[in-house]
Amino acid sequence: MTGFIFRVECCGEVLHGLKVSLAEAETASVMPHIVRNANGNIIGLTEHDQDGSGEELSLSHPDVQAFLEAAKSQLSSSDTETIRVIEDLVDVLIAKKVILLTDLPDAAQQKLSERQRMRSELNDLGNLMVDEEDIL
């Protein structure tokens, strides 16, 4: 069974992925080739040496772990942004009467309604908060 290839873009650079079997990844027996930027930071893990450096590190190496954590964080941030885009897209489709809210499954309707309510309440709270300079 093979894992997936991840590809993350961070700071204008594409972070290359590594395709490994799940069993290999769990035992950290895979030695990915390391791709570094000019500052020496890892920007990619590949199956084959792509830049001629020949550098390999274990998946359990602290530098590799730091890279993977940064990639996960970037992906998580991207997920949050994508969710907001999808919510806005659904709102536009409903406003233009392309779809009805009731066309969506009940669970999706509830989640969208709850998020709209929470966003509205947060906006109301934001309007109540003023800087000290605004106090008369």
Q: Is 22 helix (H, G, I), strand (E, B) or coil?
A: helix
Walk along the chain (136 residues) and give the pLDDT tens digit of each residue.
333 334 444 444 444 454 544 444 545 456 788 888 889 888 888 877 776 777 888 888 898 888 888 888 888 888 888 988 999 999 999 999 999 999 999 999 999 999 889 988 888 777 665 555 554 4
Q: What is the pLDDT of residue 15?
A: 45
Taking the whole predicted model, whether its pTM rises above 0.85 is answered as: no
Tell me if 112 is assigned to some domain. no
Residue 52 lies in domain: 8-77
Tell me if 108 is assigned to some domain. no
Q: What is the pLDDT of residue 131?
A: 52
Tell me if 104 is assigned to some domain. no
Tell me if 130 is assigned to some domain. no
Tell me if 94 is assigned to some domain. no
58: Cβ contacts below 8 Å, ≥ 6 apart: 28, 30, 31, 64
Q: CA–CA separation, 73 vs 76, rounded Å?
A: 5
Tell me if 41 is assigned to some domain. yes
Tell me if 122 is assigned to some domain. no
Tell me if 42 is assigned to some domain. yes
Q: CA–CA separation, 56 vs 30, rounded Å?
A: 9
Q: What is the pLDDT of residue 135?
A: 46
* Tally of domains within the chain: 1
